[in-house]
Amino acid sequence: MKKKLKKDGFKPDENPLEILREKVFRWVNTRLGWGLGAVLLAVLVLWINWDSIEKLPGVSWALTKVAELRSVPRAQGDKFSILVARLENDKDGVHRRLISDALQGRFNKDEVEVLLPDRSITIGVSDKPQEAVKVRT
């Protein structure tokens, strides 16, 4: 024997969570389409389970490679460009700003530009500091 459907299309004894799930899926299908809905669902699952996902092998490496794709600011072709990276022990960026201000005050702004990327250069403890230089984003 079939149960009678209410006017909203659901059975009276159906689970409220099942009703909510169906309404959400119907809304996603009509508003976003299944492609964008699947991407949204994947992002939600990744966000909820991030603590366990970030510990998986290769995730740290992949995130590092994605972060490296961020390029340094693009220099203008008609100016000499000076790039000032973040300094390792400069917590608030005070020294970096002082260096930038000194360079901008010393040179004509039409000839020289100072670029401030979101990267730092650290020097590890080593007998050969040239080999210990590491770029961090």
CA distance 3 to 13: 9
Q: How many domains does the chain have?
A: 2
Q: Do both 127 and 87 map to the same domain? A: yes
Contact (CB, 8 A) for 60 and 54: yes
Q: Do both 57 and 85 map to the same domain? A: no
Q: Which residue has the higher pLDDT, 1 or 128?
A: 128
CB count within 10 Å of CB 10 equals 16
Question: Does residue 131 lie in a domain region?
Answer: yes
Domain containing 102 equals 80-136
Check pLDDT > 70 for residue 21: yes
pLDDT of residue 16: 82
pLDDT of residue 98: 92
Question: Does residue 87 lie in a domain region?
Answer: yes
Taking each helix axis from N to C end, the angle separating 16-31 and 33-48, rounded to the nearest 10 degrees, works out to 130
